[in-house]
Structure 1
Amino acid sequence: MEDRILGLHHITAIAGSAKKNIDFYTKVLGLRLLKKTVNFDDPGTYHLYYGDEAGSPGTILTFFPYESARRGRAGTGMPTHIGYAVPEGSFDFWIKRFEEHNVDFGRPSEKFGEQYLPFRDPDGLLLELVIPKNGDNRKPWETDAVKAEVATRGFHNVTLTLREAKKTAEILTDIFGYKLQDQTGSQFRYSTDAVDSAAIIDLVEMPHANRGEGGAGTNHHIAFRVKDEEVLMRFREKVVSKGLNITEKIDRNYFYSLYFREPGGVLFEIATDNPGFATDETVAELGTHLLLPPQYEPQRAQIEAVLPKLD
């Protein structure tokens, strides 16, 4: 079988209040809380996962919420905008919903021939609802307030803002198998035909813009999807052959990962489909327990004592 990058696996961002984060993404946007766990490197901090019913790759948005985090600033060298696919005709619902919940949003606009509705989460993270040209047939998670006919389907695209796009584009094309789909001025759209959704990376070239500053309301990294560990390690060889530094394989409990920083400064991850999220909870139970990496289980009482309350 040909080794392919299967579009986006997940995107990880930084937040402030964990409770505000959960309330916004589950109650306003209508995503499913998939996992409540902790940061592998900082077990006093939550790692929250959102997505569809089962946590399908291409729907997974994760956050490290730091209660006292300063507000970050989107800029060059980072992923800046996350686009979610929504059905045609759903913008009226979302505009009304954003107004009711005091969400900061802009007017519908168009890029690359697609309508999009820009908005921000409570920390200022830049998000967009996008009506894909060719639709999106993924089954959404729905809630009492956000029904299937208007609900998000998962990622449509992610935008990387860069001072210079050429070398980043070469990673996408030469290693990941993406192709240039369209260009409008300093905006470049790359896509892969390996999957039908979560398949688009947009590059925006802004040579004189300020570099991004990490903090609440900014993206930490984006993860590309591969089938399994064998394919993962073959991509590691490809990255090494380009002279880039890349980590060894890391077990993240729900997937295996490699990390490297591409030439434009964005942290890229490659993550596997296996084993998935229904390993320590059933699909029906996802997001209902505080789950700790095995090395932290003996410290559960101390960790629970310092984690912010979510009720």
Structure 2
Amino acid sequence: MINIKQIHHVAYRCKDAKETVEFYQKMLNMDFLVAIAEDRVPSTKAPDPYMHLFLDAGQGNILAFFELPNSPEMGRDENTPEWVQHIAFEVEDKEALLEAKAELEGKGLDVLGITNHGIIHSIYFFDPNGHRIELTYKTGTPEQMKQLKEVAPAMLAEWSLTKKAPTHAAWLHETEFTD
């Protein structure tokens, strides 16, 4: 039986390896861990030079990027709204999120939020590659998390049949974040 321990890394494409590393170091204080560059893809042996970067996202989590200079210019799935695909990082609490928002805005980034998702509160911004980044802190109680887990199968079953939002967890977005 497969027993996943944690995500080792999540990899995304980047437009410029140096710019990407500098962004994550400056904006999110991530440590640059490893760079790997090859002229051939190890798994397929295809001739396709790349730079593969690894950044420390905290507590053993690794964020990775590939720069692919011989591939067509990087784009995004135009059929998927910008808000859907994103990378979310957890901060300690409300104070840490408010401080992060102020710091990022002070560094010139446009930051959306704070958005209240019932069990988390989040802010959003984009990296230089167009990847949406979320910073969030947990507010959900153990009882709320238990309730969400209990209704998840029924919500999925209803969604699969109707493609309309089930209301089992509508309480998540009933209140706005006020500060």
Which category describes the TM-score, using the shorter chain as reference length?
Answer: 0.5 to 0.7
The equivalent of 2:10 in structure 1 is 158
Partner Cα separation in structure 2 for residue 288 and residue 188 of structure 1: 37
Counterpart selection for 1:212 from 67, 73, 76: 76
- Cα deviation, 1:13-63, whole Å, max 9, x if unaligned, reads xxxxxxxxxxxxxxxxxxxxxxxxxxxxxxxxxxxxxxxxxxxxxxxxxxx
Please give the alpha-carbon distance, in whole angstroms, between the structure 1 residues aligned to 2:90 and 2:140. 13
TM-score normalised to structure 2 length: 0.68
CA displacement at 1:273 relative to structure 2: 2.5
Instruction: Decide whether the 8 Å contact of 2:118 with 2:171 is kept in 1.
Output: yes
Shift in Å, 1:201? 0.7
What TM-score do you get using the length of structure 1 for normalisation?
0.41
In structure 2, relative to structure 1, the CA distance for the partners of 1:214 and 1:278 (3 Å cut) is farther
Matched, 1:253 2:118: yes
Task: Report how far residue 293 of structure 1 moved.
Answer: 3.7
Contact 1:255 1:276 in 2 (8 A): no
Higher RCO, 1 vs 2 (CA within 8 Å, ≥6 residues apart): 1
- The count of residues paired between Structure 1 and Structure 2 equals 144
Give the Cα separation in 2 of the matches to 1:205 and 1:295. 38
For each residue in 1:111-169, what CA deviation from the matched residue of structure 2 results, as whole angstroms up to 9, or x when unmatched? Answer: xxxxxxxxxxxxxxxxxxxxxxxxxxxxxxxxxxxx5xx22233221112012133332
Counterpart residue type for residue 72 of structure 2: A
Determine the C-alpha separation between the residues in 1 that align with 2:115 and 2:107: 21
Q: Which residue of 2 aligns with 1:203?
A: 65
Q: Which has the higher helix share?
A: 2
Contact 1:178–1:190 (CA under 8 A) maintained in structure 2: yes
Q: Which SS does the other structure have where 1:263 is aligned?
A: coil
For residues 236 and 245 of structure 1, the distance between their equivalents in structure 2, rounded to whole angstroms, comes to 9
Contact 1:157 1:202 in 2 (8 A): yes
Amino acid at match of 1:279: Q
What are the equivalent positions in structure 2 for 1:98-109 lying under 5 Å apart?
none
* C-alpha contact 1:163 1:209 (8 A) present in aligned 2: no
Q: Match for 1:171 among 23, 30, 38?
A: 23
**Change in CA separation of 1:277 and 1:153 when aligned onto 2, cut-off 3 Å:** farther
What's the secondary structure of 1:244's corresponding residue? coil
Deviations 1:217-245 (A, max 9, x none): xx711101111111011111121122110
1:238 equivalent in structure 2: 103
